[in-house]
């Protein structure tokens, strides 16, 4: 399948640079995957699209200040580091810039003064441009990271973000992500409480967003694209909630593509697709031709052309209906990407 099939024209002015003052002020495009019907609403209307007994699955990962700016002490050259995932102990997988100048054995220091707060040594170079870094420091790593690190905003966002919490969901609690599960940025605590009061069950999974989610597709044939593994967890109470919904013939609604990937990974781990408590690493790549085993509906943001996320939602609703919806979203000037508007596929 050719990656060009998932291309569309996106004016740069539609790339949202800042979050809305009120999270729920976003617009909402809905797509009926059975009929292809498209409708335009406000995000506050999302609750009206939920039915008694539905189970809403949220990704409770928390973004860490994973972007670090360091120096090579031997040359004085600047290095930018994006922490992707912790391996074991003080070893991390990371992306670095400029990559060509950061080889195995390179030492990078972080923090001003005669004694750097943090030092990293490059131990290995990966096939996808990533590096394995071993850190040395005194004190508590998370406290040092909080002091030196910056929120890892996507490169298309050029505005500063004074308040770090604007790039966190209101239910974020499990630290470990290099990017936010952005579909969840639309919710406030008050709105989630309204959803609960309607009789909608809310449950949580964890997927720490890393290179697998936002790595661009660089091959012409999508079957040749390799996803990077990301850590996930499905707790027992979430598995039980999904089993209850399934037994009652109710919908399982994923908030965000990361929640969807987690649920589909869990479903693939059992012979009958039954969701059980589990954890591990997933590199699942969902594109048209895939049959969803758990997710019935999906709330998501608008994604990059030719991205794996656009391919995933095309697997759920069909490539042509999705691209038709995207073209309409462009025409009506919806806000795209992390701080953009929302789309509900049901």
Summarised one tens digit per residue, pLDDT across range 279-336 is 999 999 999 999 999 999 999 999 999 999 999 999 999 999 999 999 999 999 999 9
Q: 96-122 pLDDT, tens per residue?
A: 999 888 999 999 999 987 889 999 999
Average pLDDT of the residues in 239-266: 97
Pairing of strands 67-71, 78-86: antiparallel
Q: What is the pLDDT of residue 289?
A: 97
Q: What is the pLDDT of residue 211?
A: 67
Report d(CA 104, CA 107) in Å as an integer. Answer: 9
Q: What is the pLDDT of residue 213?
A: 64
**3-63+163-345: in CATH 3.40.1780.10:** yes
Burial string for 79-118 (b: 16+ CB within 10 Å, else e) reads: bbbbbbbbeeeebbbbbbeeeeebeeebebbbbeeeebbb
Average pLDDT of the residues in 152-162: 84
Q: How far is CA 259 from its chain centroid?
A: 9
How much is the pTM? Answer: 0.93
Q: CA nearest 56: which of 66, 70, 46?
A: 46
Q: What is the pLDDT of residue 218?
A: 80
Domain boundaries defined on the chain: 3-63+163-345, 67-148
Q: What is the pLDDT of residue 228?
A: 86
CATH class of the region 67-148: mainly beta
Average pLDDT of the residues in 66-90: 94
């Amino acid at each position: 399948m050719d990656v060009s099939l998932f291309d569309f024209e996106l004016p740069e002015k539609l790339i949202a640079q800042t979050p809305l003052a009120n999270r729920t002020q976003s617009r909402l495009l809905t797509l009926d995957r059975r009929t292809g019907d498209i409708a335009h609403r406000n995000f506050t209307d999302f609750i009206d699209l939920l039915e008694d007994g539905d189970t809403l699955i949220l990704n409770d990962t928390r973004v860490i200040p994973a972007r670090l700016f360091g120096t090579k002490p031997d040359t004085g050259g600047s290095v930018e580091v994006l922490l992707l995932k912790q391996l074991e102990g003080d070893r991390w997988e990371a992306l670095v810039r400029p990559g060509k100048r950061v080889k195995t054995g390179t030492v990078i220091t972080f923090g001003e003064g005669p004694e750097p707060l943090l030092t990293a040594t490059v131990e290995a170079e990966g096939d996808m441009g990533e590096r394995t870094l071993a850190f040395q420091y005194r004190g508590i790593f998370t406290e040092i990271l909080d002091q030196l690190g910056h929120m890892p905003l996507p490169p298309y966002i050029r505005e500063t973000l004074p308040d770090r919490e604007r790039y966190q969901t209101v239910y974020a609690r499990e630290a470990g992500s290099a990017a936010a599960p952005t579909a969840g940025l639309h919710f406030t605590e008050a709105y989630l409480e309204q959803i609960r009061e309607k009789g909608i069950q809310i449950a949580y999974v964890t997927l720490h967003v890393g290179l697998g989610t936002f790595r661009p597709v660089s091959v012409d044939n999508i079957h040749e694209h390799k996803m990077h593994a990301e850590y996930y967890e499905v707790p027992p109470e979430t598995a039980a909630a999904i089993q209850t919904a399934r037994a009652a013939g109710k919908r399982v609604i994923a908030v965000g593509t990361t929640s969807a990937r987690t649920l589909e990974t869990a479903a693939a781990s059992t012979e009958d697709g039954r969701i059980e408590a589990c954890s591990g690493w997933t590199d699942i790549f969902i594109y048209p031709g895939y049959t969803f085993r758990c997710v019935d509906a999906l709330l998501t943001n608008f994604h990059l052309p030719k991205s794996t996320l656009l391919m995933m939602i095309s697997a759920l609703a069909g490539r042509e209906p999705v691209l038709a919806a995207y073209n309409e979203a462009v025409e009506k000037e919806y806000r795209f990407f992390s701080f953009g508007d929302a789309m509900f596929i049901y």
